[in-house]
Structure 1
Amino acid sequence: MRPGELDIGIVEAVHPHQDRDPIGQGPDLFSTAIRGGKEELGIEISKNDVKFLGFGVDEQYYQWNIIGFVQCHETIEEIVSQRTRGISGKWEIIGA
């Protein structure tokens, strides 16, 4: 979408059904992060591993975003090895 620009390891859209909050009517952003970790990097994370840092709006592409990080338990070598075996969303990341 943005040629020549770097991006973060997990860029995941909120799925209206898979990421629904089990208690309320809105989305559960932790579920989105957990699903993104599994689909894009092949890592298993829990809600306790996810830390959200901020909210932003991209005025050029008319998108909102939440940025954060995941305390990952795998090494980079383990993640790269997992990706070479086939991750469902790995082709979403350019240069993967």
Structure 2
Amino acid sequence: MSDDFKRVEVHDCPMSTCGAPAGSPCRTGKGKVAIQYHTARFRLVPQLAKALSVPTPAVRKPGSVWTELPRPVSAGAEPVGHVRLGYAR
């Protein structure tokens, strides 16, 4: 359970009022770190889909002023080069 927040923060928050990017905790409408992750966000994690709530851990300082944290590096992310797409008959 202690690593649940890491699994949740892999995804951007889909809530229009939050919009927290991957790597950051959810935020409230008043710009503070939320005490728990939004349901729409933690339901993106199959292991947590049936959970009732996922609390924000103390390391993320719930209740403090929200600031964006560094985004996680995606596994297998490589620089994208030039791609030529076309269609022929």
- Decide which structure has greater helix share: 1
TM over 0.5: no
With normalisation by structure 2, the TM-score equals 0.31
- Decide which structure has greater strand share: 1
Larger relative contact order, structure 1 or 2 (CA cutoff 8 Å, min sep 6): 2
With normalisation by structure 1, the TM-score equals 0.30
